[in-house]
Structures are given as C-alpha cells and as structure tokens.
Amino acid sequence: MTDQADYKIILREVLSTARTAALLAHGKADAFSRGQVTAYYDLLDVAATQAQAMDVPLLDLGLDAFDPVSLLSPPRQAA
C-alpha cells in the first residue's frame, strides 16, 4: 500500500521540475519556449490555486517563494 507521503514527494518533485524548466524556458524568445512557459504556468498555477483552496501550505509543495504569474511577464534583461 502506498503511503500518502509518497504522493506528496512525487508531487513536490514534479512541481520542482516544472518550475525549473519554466524558469529555463522563460529566458528564451522562440515560439516553442514561449509555449513551454505557458504550459508550465498553467500547471504551476493550478497546483498553487488548488493548494490554497484546500489550505495546503505552498511550502509543502515547494511553491512558497514562487509566483507562477511571474512567468507571464517578459524575462529580465541582464545588465
């Protein structure tokens, strides 16, 4: 029987991987990367919204210091 903690670990890893990939794609200007960012935004936003609706701390999902909406703004240019 699978423990609920196993699901939590899997979800946290999936969201961490999605967040990392989104941030990498966010710095690119090609159409494919923009599409990736949009898909990752959708995934991360649904996870954060559902967590908040169910009183699951974003810290438990590794999303406590991350706002998926930040993916919708243009990437910051290096100085």
Q: What is the pLDDT of residue 5?
A: 85
pLDDT > 70 in the chain, percent: 94
Residue 77 pLDDT grade (very low, low, confident, very high; cuts 50, 70, 90) = low
- Please state, as a whole number, how many other Cβ atoms lie within 10 Å of the Cβ of residue 77: 6
Provide the token pair at 51. Answer: 């967590």
Q: Is 55 left (phi over 0), alpha (psi -120 to 50) or beta?
A: left
Q: CA 15 to CA 62: how far, in whole Å?
A: 7
pLDDT digit string (tens) for 1-33?
Answer: 577 888 999 999 999 999 999 999 998 989 999
Q: What is the pLDDT of residue 78?
A: 57
Which residue pairs, CB below 8 angstroms and at least 24 apart, start in 56-61? 60/8, 60/12, 61/11, 61/12, 61/15
